[in-house]
Amino acid sequence: VPVSRIRNFSIIAHIDHGKSTLADRLLQDTGTVSNREMKEQFLDNMELERERGITIKLQAARMNYTALDGQEYVLNLIDTPGHVDFSYEVSRSLLACEGALLVVDASQGVEAQTLANVYLALESNLEIIPVLNKIDLPGAEPERVRAEIEEIIGLDCSGAILTSAKQGIGIQEILESVVLLVPPPRDTIDEPLRALIFDSYYDSYRGVIVYFRVMDGSVKRGDKVRLMASGKEYVIDELGILSPTQIEVDELHAGEVGYFAASIKAVGDARVGDTITLVSKPAAKPLDGYAEAKPMVFCGLFPTDADQYPELREALDKLRLNDAALQYEPETSSAMGFGFRCGFLGLLHMEIVQERLEREYDLDLITTAPSVVYRVTDNHGTQSYIDNPSTLPDPNHRQKIEEPYVKLEMITPEEYVGTLMELCQNRRGEFKDMKYLTKGRTTVIYEMPLAEVVTDFFDRMKSNTRGYASMEYQPIGYRENNLVKLDLMINGDPVDALAMIVHRDKAYNVGRAMTEKLKELIPRHQFKVPIQAAIGSKIIASENIPALRKDVLAKCYGGDISRKKKLLQKQAKGKKRMKSVGTVDVPQEAFMAVLKLN
């Protein structure tokens, strides 16, 4: 098809507003996949996922659609990951499009995450088509939500499409709007090749599969290409479109979306955002905006059983093939032994990696509490970055410590504004702005240390607002604060894996709360276990875990055998995730205690 009949678009939606359901509908109604295939394919992918330990998601789909004007169009739907941790990936996916459907649940309204992605789309000059979904629900209020979108985003919603993805209402209207409103790609087929990588995954047989959009020129199978950021060169040995299954083609030109394989060994060699060009006729400069993923959150990962260290290394090496943003290096902890210090894009990314390591690689891990990256200036004025609190230089050797800040944007029903502000205030947040959006809904903006956000802020926000508030944040640089290192000692020994960096004003409270929490979490031993918190050599809080006097079973009345069994089972279960620190068994939860403080 000519470029004038190609449309590239994505779907922007808050979690649960119906993005996947709508995408499935579009694929079905254009005959791209049949109902049966839909199910089969889904199952296939699940199996693959299990077998090879990779996640195959629908990343892009090419649909053929005969519009009401009688012409046949090619519609490429490009998926975007819907989470703040991956906002760079989102911005690259959007760059591959000329338009976006903004899907908002008509019974809910605009959420913070929707806003963030809409702003990204507006920055890339995309045509945005508002879609009000779930109009079949009795609670749907399309008029209210329409007004809300107009007021918050300033987008004309008079033509918003009313849909029910579930019941198949409004689907054709969407397809027609994409054809009529989304501009076709620019026709730059005669220019030197520039193609944008918007996603990739590792396949153990074919190497990395790269998903890309041709921005200028064209590319053929057998072409020798160069990745402009990495400088690496490869010969394309497989080229195709995503329909959504991979179908090989010989050539793709400006405006088209597809995939290639070129025996690339790891996704880190073909990063999202990089520009592909031809070695024989290279482009003068790459596409704008390439950036390397920068980890924001770090934690220690240690095998419960020291023998599993080589397996942990192997698992991380394997995961890294498929996850360019994952960073790790060996860490030796005096308390925990050998492990790795790992860096992640954010908390969700961290949870995904931890879960995959345990589920897919069958490892038992102890993870330490998440930390941010501090910037420390020493007495000679030299700056360094510290991602592990235990390595913070002592006060005599440093001039200042700075910590990363974020701008936090929350959208909440009015009645929770008070509790939300209190929560932010307790987290060292600085109030910036508050706006009434529409009847009963408010946006609240704070600037806050990232460290306060990564310690379960999201969960607190959700529980304080009964799940109604949503949030979004972005980094705004470093600020100096009066920060100190808080050490925790178990049985007289400092446990490096428990060290943390806190604001001096909060240090006493945190120290007291931590010792109390550890006392609660660490089981009793045959001997008394003192627990102390200290700043430098000064002890600021202490507790004792009394020695165990008798056998636990002695606590059971008489000879109730089932009760004994239950107790033993309970102990066995508790034992699973223990790490011996000196002579004291410390459970996994203790290393996360900071997330459970009141």
Q: Which residues pair with 244 in a beta bridge?
A: none
Cβ nearer to ligand GTP, comparing 19 with 349: 19
Cβ nearer to ligand GTP, comparing 129 with 586: 129
> Smallest distance from the beta carbon of 257 to ligand GTP, in angstroms?
20
**Distance between CA atoms of 515 and 337, rounded to whole angstroms?**
23
Binding site for ligand GTP (CB under 6 A): 13, 15-21, 82, 133-134, 136-137, 164-166
**Distance between CA atoms of 390 and 496, rounded to whole angstroms?**
5
> Smallest distance from the beta carbon of 80 to ligand GTP, in angstroms?
10
Q: Which residues contact 493 (CB under 8 A, 6 or more apart)?
A: 335, 581, 582
Cβ nearer to ligand GTP, comparing 111 with 269: 111
The residue behind tokens 């192997």 is 314
> Smallest distance from the beta carbon of 107 to ligand GTP, in angstroms?
8
Cβ nearer to ligand GTP, comparing 82 with 185: 82
Cβ nearer to ligand GTP, comparing 16 with 72: 16
Answer whether 258's CB lies under 8 Å from 241's CB: yes
Answer whether 274's CB lies under 8 Å from 230's CB: yes
> Smallest distance from the beta carbon of 60 to ligand GTP, in angstroms?
16
**Distance between CA atoms of 370 and 451, rounded to whole angstroms?**
8
Q: Which residues pair with 435 in a beta bridge?
A: 443
The rounded Cα 82 to chain-centroid distance in angstroms is 8
> Smallest distance from the beta carbon of 87 to ligand GTP, in angstroms?
15
Cβ nearer to ligand GTP, comparing 63 with 219: 63
And the tokens for 177? 């709007």
Cβ nearer to ligand GTP, comparing 145 with 484: 145
Write b or e for each residue in 152-191: b if 16 or more Cβ atoms lie within 10 A of its Cβ, otherwise e. bbebebeebbbbbbeeebbbeebbebbbeebebbeebbeb
The separation between the first and the last C-alpha atoms of the chain, rounded to the nearest angstrom, is: 61
Cβ nearer to ligand GTP, comparing 19 with 320: 19
Q: CA nearest 350: which of 557, 83, 72?
A: 83
> Smallest distance from the beta carbon of 95 to ligand GTP, in angstroms?
21
Cβ nearer to ligand GTP, comparing 41 with 304: 41
> Smallest distance from the beta carbon of 209 to ligand GTP, in angstroms?
22
Cβ nearer to ligand GTP, comparing 21 with 218: 21
> Smallest distance from the beta carbon of 279 to ligand GTP, in angstroms?
39
DSSP 533-549: EEETTEEEEEEEEPPP-
> Smallest distance from the beta carbon of 23 to ligand GTP, in angstroms?
8
Cβ nearer to ligand GTP, comparing 141 with 589: 141
**Distance between CA atoms of 292 and 190, rounded to whole angstroms?**
30
Q: CA nearest 9: which of 188, 288, 187, 257?
A: 257
Cα-trace Rg, the chain = 27
**Distance between CA atoms of 387 and 487, rounded to whole angstroms?**
16
> Smallest distance from the beta carbon of 143 to ligand GTP, in angstroms?
17
Question: Could you give the 3-state DSSP secondary structure of residue 153?
Answer: helix
- The answer for 215, left when phi > 0, alpha when psi is -120 to 50, beta otherwise, is alpha
> Smallest distance from the beta carbon of 137 to ligand GTP, in angstroms?
5
Answer whether 9's CB lies under 8 Å from 73's CB: no
11 membership: H or E segment, kind and range? strand 6-13
The rounded Cα 411 to chain-centroid distance in angstroms is 20
Pairing state of beta strands 374-378 and 430-438?
Answer: unpaired
